[in-house]
Amino acid sequence: MNTAVAKPSMQLLEGATAIAESAILAGCRFFAGYPISPFTPLLEHMSRALPENGGVCINAESEIEGANMALGAGATGAMAATGSCGQGLALMQETIAEAALNETPMVVFNLARNQQDYFQATRGGGWGDYRTIALAPKDIPEAVEHTQLLFHLSRRYRAPTLLYGDPLLAQTRVGVHLRRIEFDELPPQDWALDGTGGGTGESRQIWTWAMGKATNPGLGPDGHWQQVAAKFDRIAELEQRSEQRYAEDADTLVVSFGSAAKFIEHVVEELRAEGHRIGWFRPISLWPFPGPALAGATAGIKRVLVFELNAGQMLEDVRQYARDRDAIRFIGGVSIHESGLSYGPLLDAPEIRARILAAIAEDSTRSTS
Amino acid sequence: MTQELRIVPTDRPPADGKARKVADFRPSLMLGEHGLCPGCGEPVALRILLETLQDLGIVNNSIGVVGHGCYGSFVRIMDVDVLQCLHGRAPSCATGIKRMRPQTAVFTMQGDGDMVNEGLQEVLHTAARGENVTAILLNNGVFGDTGGQQTATTVLGQRTKTSIEGRDPGLHGHPIPVADLVASLDGVGYVARGAVGTAGSIARTKRMIRAAFESQLAGEGFSLVEILTMCPTGWFVGAPQGPDYLAESMEQVFPLGDLRARPKPSGAGA
Ligand SMILES: Cc1ncc(C[n+]2csc(CCOP(=O)(O)OP(=O)(O)O)c2C)c(N)n1
Ligand code: SF4
Ligand SMILES: [Mg+2]
């Protein structure tokens, strides 16, 4: 299916396909991956659609190789990506850190099985002072936008960027409007390896240690890694993204990310219609975490409920920024489908509603006793 | 996917007859002195690699991918566009580069620790995919950079810091002849094993490197030249004894010559 050229109208697409098509619209020309559920359909679609659009998709022999192929492609200035779910991203950590430290743009898609990869996405497991811009879309249309934004940010900052999705994003079919998003102009890619530098005395080099050439020394690890760290400080300021609703007149604020936040939106609307003073806050960028926005949103809040499908990972970031730490209650938890491949029964509106109401009730008994 | 590169000879004046300075068509690609041990074989291998790029006229149409070992410091002195990659991952990085720049000559430089220990599956899969890149393996049978420990190519009986009584097959297993493995795969254009212990072997190895790049430029698939290099420091022998030790130990286990000839005779190698 050659679909990436011009698509004015709405199409019914599976999320993984929509993400792949959006990547191609953004200009992605290289993809390498290794199958794992629920990421597999993204790889399958790329293997068909990329060659039709002048690109290359490689069946990597493992996630390690896939990530390093993407790094190599990215080093030439091409828009390159790889992906997997959390299990495969575990294998890619060394490469993600390397790309951050040697400043090679690439996009990594984590179409995860659940929300247990929050620490992996926001802290990472590579070595060195690096961070990874990580966006967590709440639904497929947003994932389509984030995909293009991530290619842009990756090139703007010469750093790997990450999309954190899940089975609902990967496997659901929805109507999607695919179009190319235009961003600000990027700085020239004068660093990209094209092979023409040889013999000029000014050949190019991409090197985590940034030693430079004998005739033109680089900053070396000390200076280079300080510079990279300073760049991530800048990104931390500039690239925070979040969304909130009803925080101004709420007693209760529910914080959640990704697909879970979509459920929270629905439940909060229900509860408000019933007269509860409740609102929600959603970090869109998991890193950089929108801490100041959360601090603002929690200013007059009596209880901050954190809902995520894991043992309490984002909870740590909420604790850092919520105005009153004692107001925080964790209402999420580990909940895995018996297959191990998707969410369990906790990701369900009635269950979430019950947990929110129980937390509110518990607080009021506590304050009256 | 692959397209032939035009080979512009740089060992004679340009065909267009325009006057140029000598250095214009035979630039030096060494930007400075190497800092490796006296008697090390790796700088010799670097030199014949760079000379080959010059001989083929592809100096300003080449990208190198360099792994982690003593040769890693060459990134500072080789006047070629280079990606310094993670330990063991050069073939994958080279794959990404070549697929995005099929018109560029792409080569890797890895040691035995880098290619045969950390990244064995990379080189095998890259070869079997028929990636049109040239791999240069500097095999000295030890992790030289970390001080002379046993690698997957250490020969039986060889003393290293982690096989202090000599490599014992019962304890440490057997050396892996990676070039022979690669030569057995479909997708491969040319494989040879050379050495830099003597003037004769250096000259022969240079012809092998040339054949490997010509194979790449002709789009024949993956090419590999394994180069046995002296590591007197890691072998615990004096620098002058390096070449003899190489001939008596490594060359006995890893015989020199073409392991897979090019589809058409190239006149290179053994
Ligand atoms: C992931 C990782 N593990 C270990 C190392 C440490 N290390 C650096 S160089 C090297 C030895 C490389 O040996 P080889 O490729 O044979 O090169 P030589 O120094 O012998 O030329 C090792 C183990 C590393 N850089 N990265
Ligand atoms: S340790 Fe061995 S490989 Fe490394 S520079 Fe010294 S002689 Fe060469
Ligand atoms: Mg070695």
Q: Nearest ligand to the C-alpha of residue B231?
A: 2
Higher-scoring residue by pLDDT: B269, B67: B67
User: Given A157, A182, A207, which residue is the final one in a domain?
Assistant: A182
| pLDDT at position A9 | 78
Q: Which residues of chain B make contact with A75, given a CB cutoff of 8 A?
A: 83, 93, 96-97
- Residue-wise pLDDT tens digits, A137-152: 999 999 999 999 999 9
What protein residues have CB closer than 5 angstroms to ion ligand 3? B 111-113, 140, 144
| Of residues A277, A234, A242, the one with CA closest to residue A261 | A242
The answer to whether the CB of B70 is under 6 A from ligand 2 is: yes
| pLDDT at position A363 | 81
The pLDDT-based confidence of A191 (bands split at 50, 70, 90) is very high
| Of residues A212, A252, A244, the one with CA closest to residue A364 | A252
Nearest to A198 among B79, B100, B121 (CB): B79
* pLDDT, average across residues B20-44: 77
Query: Is 0.90 topped by the overall pTM?
Result: yes
Does residue A216 lie within any of the structural domains? no
pLDDT over threshold 80, residue B6: no
Euclidean distance between CA atoms B109 and A16, whole angstroms: 37
- Residue B246: DSSP 8-state: I
The pLDDT-based confidence of B38 (bands split at 50, 70, 90) is very high
User: Given A153, A182, A211, which residue is the final one in a domain?
Assistant: A182
The pLDDT-based confidence of B25 (bands split at 50, 70, 90) is very low
Ligand 1, atom 3: closest residue by C-alpha? B87
The answer to whether the CB of B159 is under 6 A from ligand 1 is: no
Euclidean distance between CA atoms A146 and B179, whole angstroms: 45
For residue A86, what are the domain limits?
3-182
pLDDT over threshold 90, residue B269: no
Nearest to A76 among B1, B84, B100 (CB): B100
* Residue B122 touches chain A, beta carbons under 8 Å: yes
Query: For residue A49, what is the domain's CATH number?
Result: 3.40.50.970
Q: Which residues of chain B make contact with A198, given a CB cutoff of 8 A?
A: 29, 53, 59-62, 79-81
The pLDDT-based confidence of A64 (bands split at 50, 70, 90) is very high
pLDDT over threshold 80, residue A282: yes
Percent of chain A with pLDDT over 70: 97
Q: What is the CA(B244)–ligand 2 centre distance, in A?
A: 16
Does residue A8 lie within any of the structural domains? yes
pLDDT over threshold 90, residue A301: yes
**A205 Cβ partners below 8 Å, 6+ apart?**
A212, A213, A218, B75, B81, B82, B83, B84
pLDDT over threshold 90, residue B241: yes
Number of residues in chain B = 270
Give exposure, B130-169, as e/b (b: 16+ Cβ within 10 Å): bbbbbbbbbbbbbbbbeebbbbbbbbeebebebbeeebee
Domain count, chain A: 2
* pLDDT, average across residues B118-123: 98
Q: What is the CA(B85)–ligand 1 centre distance, in A?
A: 12
DSSP per-residue codes, A201-232: T---EE-TT--EETTEE--HHHHHHHHHHHHH
Domain borders along chain B are 42-143+151-261
Does residue A219 lie within any of the structural domains? no
| Of residues A31, A87, A92, the one with CA closest to residue A63 | A92
The pLDDT-based confidence of B14 (bands split at 50, 70, 90) is low
- Residue owning tokens 């998707």: A342
- Residue-wise pLDDT tens digits, A73-115: 999 999 999 999 999 999 999 999 999 999 999 999 999 999 9
* pLDDT, average across residues B40-58: 97
Least confident window among A35-39, A151-155, B14-18:
B14-18
Domain check: are A248 and A148 in the same one? Answer: no
Q: Pocket of ligand 2, candidates B73, B143, B233: which has the most ligand atoms within 8 Å of its Cβ, to mutate?
A: B233
Domain check: are A256 and A360 in the same one? Answer: yes
Helix A15-26 × helix A40-52 angle, to 10°: 40
Q: What is the CA(B66)–ligand 3 centre distance, in A?
A: 13
| pLDDT at position B17 | 60
The pLDDT-based confidence of B265 (bands split at 50, 70, 90) is low
Does residue A35 lie within any of the structural domains? yes
Sign of CA dihedral B64, B67, B68, B70: negative
Q: According to DSSP H, which parts of A76-115 are helical?
A: 86-102
Does residue A231 lie within any of the structural domains? no
pLDDT over threshold 80, residue A3: no
The answer to whether the CB of B137 is under 6 A from ligand 2 is: no
Does residue A265 lie within any of the structural domains? yes
Q: Do A207 and B104 touch (CB under 8 A)?
A: no
| pLDDT at position B28 | 74
Domain check: are A22 and A135 in the same one? Answer: yes
- Residue-wise pLDDT tens digits, B124-135: 999 999 999 999
The answer to whether the CB of B71 is under 6 A from ligand 1 is: yes
Nearest 10 degrees: Cα torsion B62, B67, B69, B70? 20
| pLDDT at position B270 | 45
Domain check: are A60 and A168 in the same one? Answer: yes
pLDDT over threshold 80, residue B15: no
Euclidean distance between CA atoms A313 and A306, whole angstroms: 10
The answer to whether the CB of B258 is under 6 A from ligand 1 is: no
Residue of B nearest to A32 (CA): B96
A279 forms bridges with which residues in the sheet?
A: A253
Q: According to DSSP H, which parts of chain A are helical?
A: 15-26, 40-52, 63-75, 86-102, 118-122, 140-157, 167-171, 220-238, 258-273, 291-297, 314-321, 349-368
Q: What is the CA(B86)–ligand 1 centre distance, in A?
A: 10
Nearest to B79 among A73, A193, A199 (CB): A199
Nearest to A68 among B27, B62, B92 (CB): B92
pLDDT over threshold 50, residue A2: no
Indicate the average pLDDT of chain B: 91
Euclidean distance between CA atoms A221 and A203, whole angstroms: 19
What's domain B42-143+151-261's superfamily in CATH?
A: Thiamin diphosphate (ThDP)-binding fold, Pyr/PP domains (3.40.50.970)
- Residue owning tokens 């080569």: B107
* pLDDT, average across residues A30-56: 98
Number of residues in chain A = 369
pLDDT over threshold 50, residue B21: no
| pLDDT at position B9 | 52
| pLDDT at position A148 | 98
The pLDDT-based confidence of A364 (bands split at 50, 70, 90) is confident
Task: Tally helices (H) and strands (E) across chain B.
Answer: 11, 9
Contact call for residues B81 and B63 (beta carbons, < 8 A) = yes
Domain check: are A53 and A173 in the same one? Answer: yes
* pLDDT, average across residues A299-315: 97
Does residue A229 lie within any of the structural domains? no
